[in-house]
Amino acid sequence: MAEYDDLDDTGRRDFLLKVTTVVTGAGAVAASIPFVASMNPSAELLAKANTEVDLSDIPVGGMHTVAWQGKPIFILHRTPESIKAMEATNGGLKPEQDSDRVKKPEWLVVIGVCTHMGCVPNKEGPGWTCHCHGSQYDDSGRVLRGPAPNNLEVPPYRFIADNKIMIGQA
């Protein structure tokens, strides 16, 4: 029991007010978690996160675009000359060795989304050009000219057979 003269002591009340505020705030944050989380990709989308691609019908020098997680994936069957040219340089704005970007030199697999604003670059000559803001990439997907800040991303993928890849699993 509080003593009579404790009525002048506001310390206890101030303390209780602070504790209540903190607990209410923490509760509000905790309550927001399900709402915020509900806006992230659903289990259905996550279940469709892998794409299997048969490479045997892509001719040498040809490119196929497949969808993975709703994004375009460029699969380029590179010619020996193109491989040689790409291995000879380290790219432009973000130097990276060609061998670090491929599993087998004749197959380049990159996410076909410009690292600037997310447009899909077009295959033009050797490499790609993004029509939205004029970025250029080489046949290894490395950025040669801005405004794109990064090389085209390499998705996680692995060869499940000689001519088959599974995109989404490293």
Partner 1 sequence: MANKIIAWIDHRFPLTSFIKHELTGYPTPRNLSYWWNFGFLAGIVLMLQVLTGLFLAMHYKPDAAMAFDSIQHIMRDVNYGWLLRFMHSTGASAFFLVIYIHMARTLYYGSYRAPRELMWWTGQGLLLLLMATAFMGYLLPWGQMSFWGATVITNLFRATPFIGDQVVVWLRGDYAVGDDTLTRFFALHYLFPFLIIGAVVIHLVALHSVRSSNPSGIDLADKDNIPFHPYYTIKDFYGLGVFLMAYFLVVFFFPHSVLEPANNIPANPLITPDHIVPEWYFLPFYAILRAVPNMVGGVVAMGLSVIVFAFMPFLDRSRIPGGGRYRPVYRIMFYLFILDILVLGYVGYVPPTSKTIIIGQVATFIYFGSFILLPFISKAEDKWLFKRGLPPKILALIASEEQEIAKRGKR
Instruction: Pick out residues in 95-124 that bind partner 1 (CB under 8 A).
Output: 112-113, 116-122
Binding range to partner 1, per CB under 8 A, among 22-30, 41-49, 97-105, 157-165: 41-49
Compute CA distances 51 → 44, 73, 164, 169, whole Å. 14, 10, 11, 9
142 CB neighbour count, 10 Å cutoff: 25
Are 147 and 133 in contact, with CB atoms under 8 Å apart?
A: yes
The 126-165 contact track toward partner 1, x by CB under 8 A, reads ----xxxxx-----------xxxx----------------
Backbone φ and ψ of 100, nearest 5°? -80, -10
Compute CA distances 127 → 42, 86, 121, 124, 156, whole Å. 35, 10, 9, 6, 21
Helix (H, G, I), strand (E, B) or coil at 81: helix
Query: Closer to partner 1 at the Cβ: 120 or 166?
Result: 120
With binding defined as CB under 8 A, does residue 70 bind partner 1?
Answer: yes
Q: Is 131 noted as a catalytic residue in this protein?
A: no
With binding defined as CB under 8 A, does residue 85 bind partner 1?
Answer: no
With binding defined as CB under 8 A, does residue 29 bind partner 1?
Answer: no
Helical ranges in the chain per DSSP H? 11-37, 43-47, 80-88
> Minimal distance in Å, beta carbon 169 to partner 1?
15
**Residues tagged active-site:** 133
Binding site for partner 1 (CB under 8 A): 36, 39-42, 45, 65, 67, 69-72, 112-113, 116-122, 130-134, 146-149
